[in-house]
Amino acid sequence: MCSPIHNDFVKMRTAARDAAVDQALEVLADRLPLGWKIDRDRGSVGDDDRVGLVVEDPSSVRKSILADVRLSVSPMDLQRAYPASNEMRSSSDPDDPILVIARYLSPRSRTVLDEASVNYLDLTGNVRLSVSSPGLSILTEGAQRDPTPRARPHRGIAGLAAGRIIRALADAAPPYSVSQLASIAEVSVGYCSRTLQALEREALVGRDSRGTVRSVDWPNLLRRRGGAVPLLDPRRTTNHIARMGVRGAVDLLGGMDADSYAITGSFAAARIRPVAASVALVVYTPRPDRLATSLDLLPADAGANVFLVVPADDGVFTGSSILGGNRWVAPSQIVIDCLGGWGRMPQEGEAVIEWMMEDEDEWRTQKLEVEIR
């Protein structure tokens, strides 16, 4: 026999689920084509979290939809429920399309559902619904940030130490233990563990029961880092115009001490996978005044084509290499910087990701020397 407290909890949960479904129906009704209808499927049999819906076109052709209502959800929860490789019923299956309903779905959560071909709707208006018969396709954007965020005890991905961990996860193929990863990233084991917990909730890393990292979604991991950290921080960036043009400045850099700088951004991306002619040069350097003098750069309030950035952390130099006489940051750092840049830089960052995906052996350490304990 269930206790009164349990019964009250079930009633509260059911009421919250029903309220979410009612709001979801309003969101969908506002986005349906003229003459279409959507409502609960009164004849369906669901469970605590699944509710039957039915959509009807102007000619009275009806289609049932199974709504998976999730009041609180993380990307990890969604990936476990809807793995991209699983041959389960999805939005592309006309016999039983699924619609995940949530209060809010983060960009990462929506990506996980996109990869699994599962429909989704959040109450801010992020909707993707595809039904083959009757033919219906809805794709709209709502909030890109949670409008009512809850307190989050775990670490984010914008911190300096988090950046070291993310670079290590991308640059070294798993498996590896938490302590091994912390050693590579040169951070504390405790901080590394907390960061991995946050990344696991975001379905960006996969770990086994012992906590060993077994898989890393490094493209989306780099995208998340790039989206969280802008390339140019005005507190650490000086803007210049190169008297001899940006290519002349690159040539002059080839004669400098390689330990005094590293090139990133468009010029670094173009060396790997050109997208368009590079017009801005971004250089990490701990001594921008000295480098500006050596390159004969003019200070600029507007029209700058050379940007000297004092790195917030020396981790940006990890994995850098000297090619053609110049020092370049590692591919993973190029991606992060370009995605946090401006103009064509995000597209250039995506082009580098494509190159990285084509041959991981070209840039990624496949086996670490230290064995997992």
Please check whether residue 228 is in contact with residue 162, taking contact to mean a CB–CB distance below 8 angstroms: no
Q: What does the pLDDT read at residue 301?
A: 84
> For residues 357 and 370, what is the distance between their CA atoms, to the nearest angstrom?
25
CATH topology of domain 160-229: Arc Repressor Mutant, subunit A (1.10.10)
Length of the chain: 373
Strand 50-56 relative to strand 37-40, pairing:
antiparallel
Concatenated DSSP letters for 260-298?
G-EEEHHHHHHHHS--S----EEEE-S-HHHHHHHTTEE
* 350 Cβ contact partners less than 8 Å away, ≥ 6 residues apart: 339
Please check whether residue 311 is in contact with residue 333, taking contact to mean a CB–CB distance below 8 angstroms: no
Structural domain spans, the chain: 4-140, 160-229, 237-360
Concatenated DSSP letters for 12-54?
HHHHHHHHHHHHHHHHHHHHSPTT-EEEE-TT----SSEEEEE
Residue ranges for the chain with pLDDT beneath 50? 5-6, 8-9, 87-94, 151-154, 370-373
> For residues 147 and 150, what is the distance between their CA atoms, to the nearest angstrom?
10
Q: What does the pLDDT read at residue 19?
A: 87
Q: What does the pLDDT read at residue 372?
A: 41
**Could you say which DSSP state residue 317 is in?**
G
List beta partners, residue 323.
326
Q: Which of 57, 41, 26, 51 is nearest to 137 (CA)?
A: 57
> For residues 42 and 242, what is the distance between their CA atoms, to the nearest angstrom?
70
